[in-house]
Amino acid sequence: MRRTPALIVGGGLAGAATAIGLARAGLPHLLVERSRETGDAICGGFLSWRTLETLDGLGIDPDTLNPERVTRARIFAGDRRAEAALPHPAVSVSRRRLDTVLLAEAERLGTPVERGVTVREIDATSARLADGATIAADTLFLASGKHDVRGMARPEDARGADPTLGIRVRIVPSSALAKSLAGGIELHLFDRGYAGLAMQEDGTANLCMAVHRSRLQAAGSPAQLLEALGKEMPALGEWVALIEPNASIDAIANVPYGWRQRTGVDAIFRLGDQAGVIPSLAGEGMGIALASGVAAANAYVLGGPASAAQWQEDFARRLARPIGIAGIVRHIAESERAAWLLPFMRPALIQVIANATRMGQS
């Protein structure tokens, strides 16, 4: 059995942000990540203005992620459309790029990173690995993202009666798409789901959807769902037509939107999607992951393992407003009322909602 004072499970945004904080403080820790190479997680890839502030505090220059700025949002429902300037400039970036930059910064500061290490089960603050070995820690930072780990799984009833799936496909570079999306993002609302579209740093467009299982089952498969939505919504169909026939469609099941970890225990910090899951149409999931890592590291530096329980409860309260408001907006967006209400979505109201779903400062 190996031992470490602090074990970070997961090298994504929350895990890397935690590692940067602990490395800066000179505190011993170990980060384990199941992937051998940084992949491209299923994610909308939107960094809000508040998230850019968090990244700046972590020493990350947004221009190294994507020098282009997102300044406008277009929303489509049925044959109706609304558009507004964002409260402040934002950035669209692939998770592969962002995760790579953050983890490299953590390693530069001295974080020991072990890749290709899969945690199968967690018992208190000990992690049992796929190869049968165990790493015992005084403090555990759970940053496994949307993937649950046995022993620390989020409750099944958080998924709801008609669970949500995340679906993502990349659209190859196109001059028409680049021109249309320059400086903007699109949000397409439909029955039991929605889709976001944004240009990323490599010139591809990221089409990411959240859709209820019943809607996917009615279509048959992710590819058939995309085809059906393309016919149903011409504005989206224009871009669906650009998807290559052999394009890879990634999916993740049972995303518990709206869930929060409201209570805590000593020595265990639940971070990112393991702390709370905001509906993705808010574009603040990455912001929450980063903010949780920063805040948890600060709490640990000041109070050690005993600070975890209170920190979890405090962080749950910080999440209450953005997740609650995003949940209300999502409920409307996935219903037939979306197309009827869209003409009343004035730019000022869109900006109010955009600001209200941001992660507040600690």
Domain ranges (residues) in the chain: 2-40+96-158+258-337
Task: Over range 129-142, report the average pLDDT.
Answer: 97
Read off the pLDDT of residues 25-81 as tens digits, 9 standing for 90 and up. Answer: 999 999 999 999 998 888 999 999 999 999 999 999 999 999 999 999 999 998 889
Q: Calculate the alpha carbon distances from 98 to 13, 64, 264 in Å.
A: 8, 9, 29
Rounded to the nearest 10 degrees, the angle between the axes of helix 285-303 and helix 13-25 is: 30
- 29 three-state secondary structure: coil
Query: How is domain 2-40+96-158+258-337 classified at the CATH fold level?
Result: FAD/NAD(P)-binding domain (3.50.50)
Read off the pLDDT of residues 277-296 as tens digits, 9 standing for 90 and up. Answer: 999 999 999 999 999 999 99
Q: What is the pLDDT of residue 173?
A: 83
Find out whether 172 and 244 touch, Cβ atoms under 8 Å: yes
Query: Does 336 score more than 70 pLDDT?
Result: yes
Find out whether 299 and 267 touch, Cβ atoms under 8 Å: no
Q: What is the pLDDT of residue 348?
A: 81
Read off the pLDDT of residues 210-229 as tens digits, 9 standing for 90 and up. Answer: 999 999 999 999 999 999 99
- pTM here is 0.96
Find out whether 287 and 326 touch, Cβ atoms under 8 Å: no
Of 155, 147, 132, nearest in space to 42 by CA: 147
Buried-exposed string 174-196: b where 16+ CB fall within 10 A, e elsewhere: eeebeebbeebbbbbbbbbbbbb
Question: 280 is written with which tokens?
Answer: 């993705």
Query: Does 159 score more than 90 pLDDT?
Result: no
